[in-house]
A and B are shown apart, each in its own frame.
Chain A
Amino acid sequence: MYIYIDGKKISAKDGESILEVANRNEIYIPTLCHHEALDDVGACRVCMVEITHKDWGGWRNLVTACLYPVEEGLVISTSSEAVRRSRGTTLDLLMARCPTSDVIRWMAEENGEISVRYEQIDDGSKCIMCSLCVRACERMGCNAIGTVGRGHDKKIAPPFFENPENCIGCGACAAICPTGHIEVNDTRTTREIWDKKFNFVACEGCGEPVLTEEYRDYAIANRDLPADYYTTCSACKKKKLASHFDKVGS
């Protein structure tokens, strides 16, 4: 099928989202709660685009690109006046909520409108409740963190706000967080995240930290890979593999 993004005719497949097609064609649509590996939830609303169709009698609508499935002949605008207004308002609201976040400010600047117009809540938090961390943790199979409560006070936290029993210190949540809100403190031998302390497993080859002990145990129990797979860092693994081939070659 063909769709039109910002006037360009582009081929698309049934079942794809507008965002997928745009990404594949290097058309930029900002996102804050989307990740290729995770299911979309439509939370941040910055990926808003305007759609219409020649058969819709002029009717237009704002939809989230990450969730809206393409259909033949769909006409999409990624930066119409309505899109910029909606996105601008969303980003303004996020700037008020997380005034210290550079990512949000940059995104707002890029959208063309920087005006902090709303009451700022400066509690130092950069959490925009995109829930990427929760979904990543869920995907890891740990479910160590979740959302608590509803409304404006909704928070992301471990159960009962205590250090999470299920957390294996993999750090996926911190890595995926778009604003850098989740704190992770690593030393050569330890990691601290969600107020929980972990010891790193040192690489058998070079002694560099590889992963936390809890992560190693969890991986050994849940994945089908040899136990020593988790005790060597990737650099040493490569070296080992190379020397293996060397031996095979000689």
Chain B
Amino acid sequence: MGIANRKELEARRKALHKANENVKTHVRVCSGTGCAALGAFEVYDALVKESKKAGLPVQVELEPCGKEKDPLFVSLTGCQGFCQIGPLVHILPDDILYTGVKVSAVKDIVEKTLAGGQVVEKLLYKNPEDKKRLKGRADIPFYKGQELVALEGCGSVAADSLDSYVASGGFSSLAKALKMDPDQVISEVEKSGLRGRGGGGFPTGRKWRSCVSAEGDERFVICNGDEGDPGAFMDCCIMEGDPYRVIEGMIICAHAVGSSTGFIYVRHEYPRAVERLSLAVKTCEENGLLGKKILGSDLDFDISVARGGGAFVCGESTALMRSIEGSVGEPRAKYVRSVQRGFRDKPTVLNNVETFACVPSIINEGSDWFTSRGTEKSPGTKAFCLVGKVVNTGLIEVPMGTSLRDVVFGMGGGIIDGRPFKAVQTGGPSGGCLGEDHLDLPVDFDALAKAGSMMGSGGMIVMDDRTCMVDVAKYFLKFLMEESCGKCVPCREGVYQLHAMLDKLSRGEGEPQDLEKIQRLGKEIQVSSLCGLGKSAPNPVLSTLKNFREEYEAHVNDKRCPAGVCRDITTFTIDPDKCTGCLVCKKACPPDAISGEKKQVHIIDQDKCTQCGACRLVCKFDAVVTN
């Protein structure tokens, strides 16, 4: 059944809404990448099967006519955020979140909770602080303080169901936008102050407006789902978990700028995102939400899903467009912006997945609603991937301006094993590291940039005192050196040389003038490189040099790695006062370098030690120390 116009959309939504209202219990099984890998699909199948067996009125799709009375609705959703403790099963309306659900636990859930109305204690989240079980998302610190805009449907709507999206209000924003003048739509986006979530933070409304005013007989709308940052998965979650929202955002943009052709460029390694998006596009086409005369308006718009070229640099705007055109995904040096001459040299709007996902809410709720959260210059919310040495890792979305402290110690639950916090790395591989003194920094585009880091696409890696900043910078530079497109000299040769100098430092061969040299070369690479990759590639080293200079100096002057990471200049010894002789390190040592009997102080044989650090990792008494 197609949706020919706004009225039909509204009718469909009402019918579905009613069906939704009848749903007595809604079981949402997370099928995000993390949970899926841990067996979420099997859990879902088992839940449906067991519930049927128990005679519950199971329904797996929203049915407006509702065969069942008070149905139990079981659906697969996108990522619910707390991937670390998946598979997650969220039960509404009681807000019960079951964690680490295995197929073997399904019977209990069905019998005790779905049929019996009781909570299965042992499946609840255990707060590591006081070991108390917490029932639902409302009680769990990880979810507190979060505000979902781009991720609103991710984790709540059934990822592959147009009906589920429509029931949750989906496409009503498009209907509203189509009633508005394109110019009005752009004004609303401008007023919302929405800035690109893909890294640069360029004002989205302004981008759309310059595209409209650019000369051209044809315009393109492209969604950047390349997400090349290692460790980042926000865009993946949105594309997999709420594909219709991205499509709706794109159609609104097409209406605003007058485009009839769109592309979603999805990272090579995201087969499920490709699959879900392709299905969503097809479903939209079948329902008249893509194609000719969308919702009875004059808008014709088609979307194709394109698979990425497989390189980090393919996410860069000009490289991405070349890649869709069928050429090698290499950045093009030019001084014309792609809003003027982009894809096939025509005016093109390129926005990130999360940027498009914010658009429907902005149109629906209005720009004031959007600007009421976040900071003045960075309104709204931002999704982050919280990873590293924090207790809670996963996908979060917080209002801009939330402090790093709230993220790391609030949602993140602090550092693993109660170790001291050292730094948080933001902005992806070419981002920067911020230390303790920046913990109260309100996270937004400008504050991060001012502190020497950047927003990037929203990766957030937390580091403890056992992380060496020289080593971290070296790691990211290696990535960037390998991912440079290799075309321009400063990026190809300069990043290589930066990496070589850091390597020298980590081997204890640094010379006093090296730090100056690194800084100078870094600055020249920033101003001389061809594309954004090179221009930002020195960030990891420049920011750590700025914020953790003593650590660099220790490597150069004392030939010492304070964090005990750089192997060539680190020696591990056991502090006899702290060692309890528990044998744990002895067992963990790969080259058998540790000797000592039970309850006697252990000793590391320096000739055999390979400085792998395994002993330090396992020692519960902090008895393994470095120079």
Contacts and interface: CB of A to CB of B under 8 A. Distances in A.
A100 interface: no
A94 B495 CA distance: 13
B482 A94 contact: no
A242 to B, nearest CB: 48
Contacts of A129: 486-487, 489, 492
A150 B486 contact: yes
Contacts of B335: 63, 67-69
Interface stretch (B17-25, B135-143, B522-530): B522-530
B287 interface: no
Contact of A150 (B333, B485, B490, B528): B485
A216 interface: no
Contacts of A68: 335
Interface string B304-342: 000000010100000000000000100001110000000
B497 to A, nearest CB: 5
Interface residues of A, number: 36
Interface in A74-119: 82, 85-86, 89-90, 93-94, 96-97, 117-119
A177 to B, nearest CB: 16
B483 interface: yes
Contacts of A147: 328, 486
Interface string A127-164: 01101000000000000000101111110000000000
Interface residues of B, number: 33
Contacts of B334: 42, 67
A69 B487 CA distance: 21
Tell me which of A63, A85, A90 has the highest count of chain B C-beta atoms within 10 A of its own C-beta. A90
Interface string B472-507: 000000000111111111101111110011000000
A196 B528 CA distance: 38
Given A44-B489, A62-B528, A90-B490, A152 B521 contact: no
Contact of A151 (B486, B488, B500, B501): B486
B517 interface: yes
Contacts of B496: 152
A16 to B, nearest CB: 13
B527 A62 contact: yes
A151 B497 contact: no
A152 B492 contact: yes
Tell me which of A63, A94, A152, A154 has the highest count of chain B C-beta atoms within 10 A of its own C-beta. A152
Contact of A154 (B490, B492, B517): B492
Contact of B493 (A69, A82, A86, A152): A152
A93 B497 contact: yes
B486 to A, nearest CB: 3
A85 B492 CA distance: 18
Contacts of B488: 42-45
A41 interface: yes
Given A89-B494, A117-B517, A41 B528 contact: no
A63 B336 CA distance: 12
A31 interface: no
Interface in B234-272: none
Contacts of A173: none
A48 B529 CA distance: 10
Contacts of A154: 485-487, 492
Interface string A56-74: 0000001110011100000
B528 A45 contact: yes
Contacts of B492: 129, 151-152, 154
Nearest to A117: B517
Contacts of B487: 41, 43, 129, 131, 154
B527 A82 contact: yes
B124 to A, nearest CB: 48
B530 A94 contact: no
B333 A94 contact: no
B275 to A, nearest CB: 28
A179 to B, nearest CB: 13
Nearest to A46: B489
Contacts of B521: 89, 118
Nearest to B493: A93
Contacts of A85: 524
A151 B484 contact: yes
Interface in B517-560: 517, 520-521, 524-525, 527-530
Interface in A17-45: 40-45
26 contacts: A45-B489, A45-B528, A45-B529, A45-B530, A46-B489, A48-B528, A64-B333, A67-B334, A68-B335, A69-B335, A89-B494, A90-B490, A90-B524, A93-B489, A118-B493, A118-B500, A119-B497, A131-B487, A147-B486, A149-B486, A150-B482, A150-B483, A150-B486, A151-B486, A152-B492, A154-B487
Ranked 7 nearest A-B pairs via Cβ: A42-B333, A154-B486, A93-B493, A89-B524, A151-B482, A152-B496, A118-B497
Interface of A: 40-46, 48, 62-64, 67-69, 82, 85-86, 89-90, 93-94, 96-97, 117-119, 128-129, 131, 147, 149-154
Interface of B: 311, 313, 328, 333-335, 481-490, 492-497, 500-501, 517, 520-521, 524-525, 527-530
Given A118-B493, A154-B486, A154-B487, 18 more contacts: A41-B333, A43-B333, A43-B488, A45-B489, A45-B528, A45-B530, A89-B525, A94-B489, A94-B493, A118-B497, A119-B501, A129-B487, A129-B492, A150-B313, A151-B481, A151-B483, A151-B486, A152-B496
